[in-house]
Amino acid sequence: MSDAPLPSVLVVDDNHDNTEIIQRYLEARGYPVSVAHSGDEALAMLEQVRPSLVLLDVMMPGRDGWEVCRLMRSHPVLGRRLRIIMVTALDEWDDRRQALQTGADDYVAKPFDLPKLASTVERNAAMLAR
C-alpha cells in the first residue's frame, strides 16, 4: 500500500454509542473520522469536512439515511467522488437493493462486526484510490 493518507470518513448515526465505537475503531486504524448524529448535521458536515467516505445509518429521526444519501449523491461537486456505505439494521434483500438504487456504494448490516466494517471501509477506500 502507498504512503498516501487514508481518506476521511464521516460517520452518521443517531445512536451515540454506535458513532463512538466506529470512530474509535477507525481512528485506531489511521482514518480521520468526523461524526454527525442527524441527517441535517451530516449534510452540513458534507460541505465543511468534505469526507471521502460516509458511513450512513438509515433509520434516523428527521431526514432518514435514504434521503441523506440521495441529497449527498446529488451534490454538484462532492456527489460523484463520494463513497457512501449504508450501515443499517434493515437487512432484507429489498433494503440492500434500495440502498444501491438510492446511490449507496456498499452496505453493512447491524449489528455490525467491526472487522467486517473495517474491511468494507478499506475496500471502498481502495476504490477511491483508483
Q: Which whole-number Å values give the CA distances from 114 to 24, 25, 36, 46, 77, in the listed order?
A: 11, 7, 19, 24, 31
| pLDDT tens per residue, range 84-97 | 999 887 767 677 77
Sole residue written with cell 483508483: 130
Please determine, for residue 48, whether its predicted confidence score (pLDDT) is greater than 50.
yes
91 within some domain: yes
**Is the Cβ–Cβ distance between 31 and 9 less than 8 Å?**
yes
Name the burial class of residue 52, with classes exposed (0-12), middle (13-18) and buried (19+) by CB atoms within 10 angstroms of its CB. buried
The whole-number pLDDT of residue 1 equals 44
> To the nearest whole number, what is the mean pLDDT of the chain?
90
2 within some domain: no
3 within some domain: no
Average pLDDT over residues 60-88: 92
Can you give the pTM of this predicted structure?
A: 0.91
| pLDDT tens per residue, range 6-27 | 999 999 999 999 999 999 999 9
The whole-number pLDDT of residue 3 equals 61
Range of the domain at 112: 9-129
67 within some domain: yes
1 within some domain: no
CATH number, position 14: 3.40.50.2300
Please give the tally of structural domains in the chain: 1
81 within some domain: yes
